[in-house]
Homo-oligomer: A and B are copies of this chain.
């Protein structure tokens, strides 16, 4: 789909450098949106993902890519931002220690500010059924509640220009997301999923995120382009 630029709708797309959000960006582009990509430098351990996000924004034709600095690590409380909490190598029960308190609420709130200034009508977020296994802010009811809030919170909403939160991966498992991204031309070799990659972006092969990713490529029947520190 190649939309007329004057007719096309604008969208803010949250991208992390991982395969879900990259596929989400590819979906938005496929739908003819002019995409404003947004990433966060929030004190995450795995900061090479920001370099991946920048490459992906270019590869998938985003109109702009912004990185917002935000020190969520100062509050502590998550294995993804706090060096004192170990990243687990086995799935546990309940909400994982890799949950970052209120992360998606914070990311969508800042995306909403960006959307208001760019007059974007949609916010894309790559939450999905697999991440939902334990993260409260990856559930459909969270996404719906944020959309309702967005329309009460903003000039656009008050003036009748409806804002939508688009979560096109919400009902998909990892293998389905990989198959969708592959069909839309996502170069997964650019993406990083690992919670504890090394400084050049090679994955550990042991954390939850690595296990989910490897299983997804296997189930999708596609070659896994992930670079590992050692063979898994």
Residues of A within 8 A of B (CB): 66, 68-72, 74-77, 95, 99-106, 108-110, 112-114, 116-118, 136-137, 139, 141-142, 145-146, 148-150, 152-155, 157-158
A141 to B148, CA, bound (A): 10
Give every chain B residue within 8 A of A137 (Cβ-Cβ). Answer: 152-154
Residue of B nearest to A77 (CB): B117
Given the complex, which residues of B lie within 8 Å of A152, measured CB to CB? 136-137, 139, 141-142, 145
Copies in the complex: 2
Once the chains bind, are A149 and B145 in contact (CB under 8 Å)?
Answer: yes
B residues in contact with A153, CB < 8 Å? 102, 104-105, 136-137, 142, 145
Which residues of the partner chain B approach A157 to less than 8 Å between Cβ atoms? 136
Which residue from chain B places its CB closest to the CB of A99 in the assembled complex? B155
Q: Are A95 and B155 in contact (CB under 8 A)?
A: yes
Within 8 Å by CB of A70, from B68, B108, B148, lies: B68
Chain B residues whose CB sits within 8 angstroms of the CB of A141 once the complex forms: 152
Enumerate 24 A-B pairs (CB-CB under 8 Å) in ascending A order: A66-B74, A68-B71, A69-B69, A70-B110, A75-B114, A76-B117, A95-B155, A101-B154, A102-B109, A102-B112, A102-B113, A102-B153, A102-B154, A105-B149, A106-B109, A106-B110, A106-B112, A136-B153, A136-B154, A141-B152, A142-B152, A145-B145, A145-B149, A145-B152
Instruction: Report the bound CA distance from A113 to B102 in whole Å.
Output: 5
Complex Cα distance, B152 from A145, in Å, reads 8
CA gap between A112 and B113 in the complex, in Å: 17
A194 to chain B, nearest CB (A): 23
Interchain CA distance A95-B159 in the complex, whole Å: 10
B113 contacts A72, C-beta separation under 8 Å: yes
Query: Taking the nearest CB of chain B, how far is it from the CB of A60, in angstroms?
Result: 21
**CB-based contact A109/B105 at 8 Å:** yes
| Cα A153 to Cα B146 with chains together (Å) | 9
